[in-house]
Amino acid sequence: MTTRLTVPTDRPYDVVIGNGVHEQLRGLIGFGLGVLRVAIIHSPTMAKQAEILREPLVSDALEVHLIEVPDGESAKNADVLAFCWKVLGEAGFTRSDVIVGLGGGATTDLAGFVAASWLRGVRFVNVPTTVLGMVDAAVGGKTGINTGEGKNLVGAFHEPVGVLCDLDVLRSLPAAELRSGLAEVAKCGFIADPTILDLIEAAPESLADASSPIVAELIAKGITVKARTVAGDLRETGDDGIGREALNYGHTFGHAVERFEHYRIRHGEAVSIGMVFVAEVAHRAGRIDQDLLDRHRSILGTLGLPMTYRPGIWEALSSTMRLDKKTRGDQLRFVVLDGLARPAILAGPDEQLILDAYRAISS
């Protein structure tokens, strides 16, 4: 079964979820728009899949360039970005040509920023190949790279013209990557759709099988939350409330953990730790009760995700968090809950309170 969700922004686009949906790439390229060239930016593990996408496009007389970039977060830096620009320049890429991002969230983040920055913006399609990529990075138009100072500090808002989530590729996904992606799905449950949490609790035995109908349903629900949230606040202005910032639940502390670990920890694992940390913060601030704090640990434990982090490095983590995109001036801001599915901002919390929350997850 194929599910089609529309992201209703100023330039609406569809997210197609199902088995074998990569075959719809030809329809998204836009042959009537003067396309001559397609660049498929992919990780080494997706080389075979890139060839599969390439073949029908070449048959349609398109010039297809495969641009292989490093796996994971190591692809998201200025050197790799410049390499991609060089390939596009040498190939003569014009504004009517198309970029395809094939891979996990890091690859689609990079591909989107390549598309946003080349000739001030060309069209691109995302073909995410991990649960994390499907429910988070591929939808919403946030693109970017990392710097030595932090994650995603350089980037642009640039929406794709379509997203193809082919569930067939998940069958070879390592168990740890599946768990990492499901952390972002659980986040969507805490901030917006509690039925996600109910599904996780009701069928824990299905969560390790990427081909199970439950995992497919969780992916669709996570994407629905992302699409609905993004449509209401594309550029994260928060003019009508918390808006898109809600999607950063667990990310302020999680990004600091990722940077401290030099991105050797998976994004979803770091976000899992970040969600427990910020739940501890919210509980100490009187925003959530003990039951909701405990449910964080129960849900994330069911998914086999980490919930604690190393002690003794608070200063390093705190310094990194102050570079977070939500920080205003020298005031830390955290996305917290005021109850299940009620995200809010906690600005300038007491330093001792957040230190106590850190000690609670590192003891």
Q: Which residues sit in the known binding site?
A: 71-76, 105-109, 129-130, 142, 151, 184, 251, 267
Tokens of 261: 């670990």
Annotated binding-site residues for NAD(+) read 71-76, 105-109, 129-130, 142, 151
The three-state secondary structure class of 35 is coil
Give the number of C-alpha atoms closer than 13 A to the C-alpha of residue 291, restricted to the C-beta side.
Answer: 3
Task: Measure Cα distances from 198 to 204, 277, 304 in Å.
Answer: 10, 22, 16
Tokens of 244: 């898109």
Residue 194 backbone phi and psi in degrees, to 5: -65, -15
Task: Measure Cα distances from 358 to 49, 58, 274, 317 in Å.
Answer: 42, 53, 10, 10
On the 0-12 / 13-18 / 19+ scale of CB atoms within 10 A, 82 is exposed
Task: Measure Cα distances from 360 to 37, 227, 253, 357 in Å.
Answer: 53, 34, 14, 5
Annotated binding-site residues for Zn(2+) read 184, 251, 267
